[in-house]
Structure 1
Amino acid sequence: MKKIRVLVVDDSAFMRYTVSHHLSAQEDMEVVGLASDGLEGVTMVEALRPDVVTLDVEMPRLDGLGALRQIMDKNPTPVVMMSSLTKEGAAVTVEALTLGAVDFVTKPGQSTSVHQVLGELCEKVRLAARARVRTMQPSSLLQRRLAPASDRLPDNLVLIGSSTGGPGALREVVTRFPADLNAAVLIVQHMPPNFTRSLAERLDELSALPTKEAEQGDRLQTGQVLLAPGGYHLTLTRSGEVQLNKGPAVNGVRPAVDVTMMSAVGVFGSRILAVILTGMGHDGRDGVRAVKAAGGRAIAQDEATCIVYGMPRSVVEAGLADKVLPLEAIAGEVVSMLSQPASKQQPVRQTA
């Protein structure tokens, strides 16, 4: 059995020892190097060409973000970030995910033991070893145009679902939407609380559309992006008002794409354009099936550009995708499809 070759980068000698000792104890892993800061980590990635890098956020000389940028630019490699649970830690981790890191684990704290964190890290290293990484292209900020708030239900809803690899994919898609997009945008990304708020704030900084974490009572607005908060399912009232609840996890997650999509169908019917991006599992498949049954349309990200081709695969293999597209083509296709009423849009499956 070929072992997963891991490079551990952390300025804490205790964490380097603890992480490397635990990973080395796994039958399917071997630690090929230990680096004490970002500069050393970048050099060792070049020399050792590991399968996966575990990367601390806060380090001397070159921090985790700086190291990640250089790794993704010179030698794109699956990276799992080691983050703190603080607000600042969440913001930095989200930026790392938008730059191409595959996933993250939070360092041990009051609510998580070292054993729990190491177990999660092992699973995410295994997942990262199978991931496809790509250098994220810089986004050009489009002109922002703020539309006045309205009580009128938007003409269309673009509903995006994503999981592992989602933050980077969302950056690619949302920052390409024009300010005059004729739709409200709703995103369900599998992430813990705090991290979804940081992701919304990051997307807001980069995109032409105002973006925020959804709150109880928010109304969908044309030309605005709402992101479901971590830890809550998001549903809609008939008037397009956001309702949040802590109901049981669906597909093992909360928020769940399926929950939001099925709720939205009762409000928007055929005026939904569902977009399923990179992620593990099949969350979103049943929701897309409901969207299609109501006359709506669906786009799935293609396998070649996914970090993890799980959620899109489930939609494609169920025959539910109108278009299967590379990540960089999705935003343009959304704009094109919104210009055509659903009844006139021909369901043509496409791979590129």
Structure 2
Amino acid sequence: MTKVLIVDDSALIRRVLSEILSEAGFEVAVARDGVEALVKLTTFLPDVVTLDVQMPNMSGLDCLDRIMLQRPCPVVMVSSLTAAGAEETLTALELGAVDFVPKPDGVVSLAVEDLAPVLVEKVRAAATARVGRAHRLVERLRARRGEIKSPVRPAVPVRAVKSSRARDTGTPAGIVVVGASTGGPAALETLLSDIPGDFPWPILVAQHMPATFTGSLASRLNGLCALTVSEVTGPTRLEAGVIYIARGGADMVVSRRVSGLVVLPAPADEKYRWHPSVDRLVASAMAQVPPAQLVGVLMTGMGDDGAREMAALHKAGGLTIAESEETAVVWGMPGSLVRAGGAEAVEPLEAIASRLVAMVPR
């Protein structure tokens, strides 16, 4: 039985989370703050920890840092859906947390119905997460920050997309679509910060997140990447060498206007399970751009979002890259693409940028 340690200073939240997880078949223990959590880390020996961000005595971030040093295990943050909560949660993901869930607010009893399936799914996924890989990724990111990156093309031969001249309107010759979920923020930082400033195509990113988080994610990445990074909050014309982050809580789709290709947010489509939907983004891109002018990249994440449409893209003549099992925190999404036979290349995280650079013509 999977053992879960719930860490929260609110007795009500501890009770609610305990009931949800106990009913789902987990063995549960609780801690009132970070100090007590560190004691139970070595006595209860949890497989997963859910950790409140804001607590007295020891903050969730300080506790997380100690967990990763004392006894690394998968941690799911429980955070408020506010701008401040988003910043703290992204910091937690940088420190090694594998995922997060929204903290119930208002009338907690009314939020349980929505929270329960998300909490159970994410805790189950966290129990299978390769926390050692997440921790090593965080250490690599810390070591790399501030360095000038100049990725080189790989020595191994790769198939490249057919070159085509951009339209007179300035429409880019092609598009890169990237999908990620659990473990994605740190993985995206590794990938996108290694893309050189003269990269000729726009990069569209669907990272499963709520709306209050994606703006902070885009802002952080913009400060770390050679390319401009922005969150898509309205119809936006695609420009070469710009990274577009899908706004959370909705989907992002590619469309064509008189002025050229645009990307815009769309209400979440219920036929897609996760949002922003990678499958929907890829399908919309294929509807507007020849498959030979598209590259799909599917990275760490639970479930299979993106696998179906990227497999279709590959079958139609487009190029696809799946993150390898050796580096993915959760090999759900990229693993599904590989098993479907839809991956042109399977690469460890640190090699994806150079493979992508080699695939896209200058």
The answer to whether TM tops 0.5 is: yes
Match of residue 264 from structure 1: 285
Cα RMSD for the two superposed structures:
2.6
Any conservation in 1 of the 2:307–2:337 contact (CA below 8 Å)? yes
Equivalent residue of 1:213, what SS?
strand
Match of residue 125 from structure 1: 123
Give the superposition deviation at 1:152: 1.3
Any conservation in 2 of the 1:81–1:101 contact (CA below 8 Å)? yes
- Report the CA distance shift for 1:244/1:114 in structure 2 as closer, same or farther (over 3 A): closer
Any conservation in 2 of the 1:91–1:198 contact (CA below 8 Å)? yes
Unpaired runs of at least 5, structure 2 = 150-167
Scaled by the length of structure 2, what TM-score is found? 0.82
Say which of 208, 214, 220 aligns to 1:202: 220
Cα separation, 2, equivalents of 1:31 and 1:102: 19
Any conservation in 2 of the 1:141–1:207 contact (CA below 8 Å)? no
Cα separation, 1, equivalents of 2:169 and 2:23: 56
- Report the CA distance shift for 1:334/1:40 in structure 2 as closer, same or farther (over 3 A): farther
Say which of 160, 171, 174 aligns to 1:153: 171
Give the superposition deviation at 1:47: 5.1
Any conservation in 1 of the 2:311–2:341 contact (CA below 8 Å)? no
Q: Deviations over 1:232-285 (max 9, x none)?
A: 222222322113321623331332112211221244321221100112222212
Cα separation, 2, equivalents of 1:172 and 1:46: 32
- Report the CA distance shift for 1:91/1:123 in structure 2 as closer, same or farther (over 3 A): same
- Report the CA distance shift for 1:223/1:44 in structure 2 as closer, same or farther (over 3 A): farther
Match of residue 14 from structure 2: 16
Match of residue 48 from structure 2: 52
Taking CA–CA contacts closer than 8 Å with sequence separation of 6 or more, which of the two structures ends up with the larger relative contact order?
Answer: 2
- Report the CA distance shift for 1:72/1:329 in structure 2 as closer, same or farther (over 3 A): farther
Cα separation, 2, equivalents of 1:216 and 1:39: 44
Match of residue 115 from structure 1: 112
Does residue 63 (structure 1) correspond to residue 81 (structure 2)? The answer is no
Q: Deviations over 1:310-330 (max 9, x none)?
A: 211221111111111122221
Say which of 234, 241, 246 aligns to 2:267: 246
Matching residue's letter, 1:127 = A
Give the superposition deviation at 1:74: 4.2
Match of residue 344 from structure 1: none
- Report the CA distance shift for 1:175/1:41 in structure 2 as closer, same or farther (over 3 A): farther
Any conservation in 1 of the 2:79–2:89 contact (CA below 8 Å)? yes
Match of residue 163 from structure 1: 181
Cα separation, 1, equivalents of 2:80 and 2:14: 16
Does residue 4 (structure 1) correspond to residue 25 (structure 2)? The answer is no
Unpaired runs of at least 5, structure 1 = 145-149, 341-352
Say which of 75, 80, 87 aligns to 1:79: 75
Any conservation in 2 of the 1:154–1:222 contact (CA below 8 Å)? yes
Does residue 178 (structure 1) correspond to residue 196 (structure 2)? The answer is yes
- Report the CA distance shift for 1:114/1:259 in structure 2 as closer, same or farther (over 3 A): closer
Equivalent residue of 1:55, what SS?
strand
Cα separation, 1, equivalents of 2:107 and 2:318: 42
Matching residue's letter, 2:170 = R
Give the superposition deviation at 1:80: 1.0
Give the superposition deviation at 1:12: 2.6
Give the superposition deviation at 1:207: 2.3
Say which of 325, 333, 336 aligns to 2:358: 336
Give the superposition deviation at 1:298: 0.6
Give the superposition deviation at 1:142: 5.8
Give the superposition deviation at 1:186: 0.6
Give the superposition deviation at 1:82: 0.9
